[in-house]
Amino acid sequence: MPSKNPAFSRGFGNNAGPGQQSAGWGNAPQYGAPQYGAPGQYGAPGQYGAPAPQDQYAAPSPYGTTPATRYMTMDDVVTKTGLSFLVTVLAAAVTWALPGQAAWGLALPAVLVAFVLGLVIAFKQIANPAATLAYGALYGVALGAISEAFSLQFGSSIVTQALIGTFGVFAGMLVVYKTGAVRVTPKFTRWMMAALIGVLVLVVANLVAGFFVEGGLGLRDGGPLAIIFSLVVIGVAAFSLLLDFDMADEAIRRGAPAKFAWYIAFGLLVTVVWLYLEILRLLSYLQSD
């Protein structure tokens, strides 16, 4: 089953799960095939001293784990994701607390480095704490500077509202996923991929148009069209969380090693940061009217 999450899509779906390691699991031995020296077809004895057939249940895990490797659990996902969020929030708080406009000198470099690091993690499927926590810290620096700017322009309440909205959407989508109100099916995944690509194309097109026409396509100028577009993007980001949750469940079912939880934490962090920034943008539109 292929990966549902775009950040997880590279290579994960090519691995067979623990229940797919061998097509012969549970199949009866072929007639005449010796089984530990037992008689074969028509009572023909097995070959004396013939080596025992390979134990199919000892086949290696698709993730390259060994019997000593601990498999990933939901506790691993919760712990690693919580730690990643904590590092991001602390980095944002420290950046916001910097005197004067010092935060703005760090914001752009942090965004650029985090963007490159995120691409490397996603395409190489790097699953280790250093990469995920570094990504969280870098984006925390950027979020601290951005949040401070919005707070100065629109009031400190806008950041609080965005945080409440972000974690409210996160909790709501988790309930939706756990109750099965919306199921992650191949058709749902295709629709989500199309929506993600569509949003990306529109954002890039609006950016390019902005070089030639003031306000570009009007998707980010704070007008009615911008509000509608922002609501659509928030919806896409929210439903992307379902893909993240399903990816975590799928990895657990397929016997991923415990360290893979860091990769899932990275994917959740990407989605939540995107959701927060879009909610913050929408609130600024509404307060500008």
- Give the pLDDT confidence of 235-256 residue by residue, as tens digits: 999 999 999 999 999 999 998 9
Give the pair of three-digit tokens for residue 113: 């480095």
Q: List 35's β-bridge partners, or say none.
A: 38
Q: Are residues 35 and 87 in the same domain?
A: no
Instruction: Please give the average per-residue pLDDT across 30-39, as a whole number.
Output: 41
3 inside domain: no
Q: Are residues 160 and 241 in the same domain?
A: yes
Please give the pLDDT value at position 36. 40
270: pLDDT confidence band, cut at 50, 70 and 90? very high
Q: Are residues 139 and 46 in the same domain?
A: no
Supply angle C-alpha 131, 78, 81, rounded to 5.
30
19 inside domain: no
171 inside domain: yes
* pLDDT tens string 187-207: 999 999 999 999 999 999 998
Nearest to 135, CA basis, from 266, 15, 46? 266
Please give the pLDDT value at position 280. 94
107 inside domain: yes
In the chain, the percentage of residues whose pLDDT exceeds 70 is 76
Number of domains comprising the chain:
2
Query: Is the model's pLDDT at 41 over the cut of 80?
Result: no
44 inside domain: yes
Rounded to whole angstroms, the Cα distance separating 153 from 287 reads 10
Q: Are residues 274 and 190 in the same domain?
A: yes
Q: Are residues 36 and 160 in the same domain?
A: no
- CA atoms in the 13 A half-sphere facing the CB of 281: 21
Contacts for 201-209 with beta carbons within 8 Å, 24 or more apart? 202/229
Q: Are residues 92 and 157 in the same domain?
A: yes
Rounded to whole angstroms, the Cα distance separating 151 from 169 reads 21
Q: Are residues 47 and 125 in the same domain?
A: no
Q: Are residues 121 and 247 in the same domain?
A: yes
Range of the domain at 154: 72-288
202 inside domain: yes
280 inside domain: yes
Secondary structure of residue 204 in the 3-state scheme: helix
Q: Are residues 77 and 29 in the same domain?
A: no
Nearest to 108, CA basis, from 65, 146, 150? 146
Q: Are residues 236 and 104 in the same domain?
A: yes
DSSP 155-194: -THHHHHHHHHHHHHHHHHHHHHHHTSS---HHHHHHHHH
6 inside domain: no
Q: Are residues 45 and 150 in the same domain?
A: no
Q: Are residues 41 and 174 in the same domain?
A: no
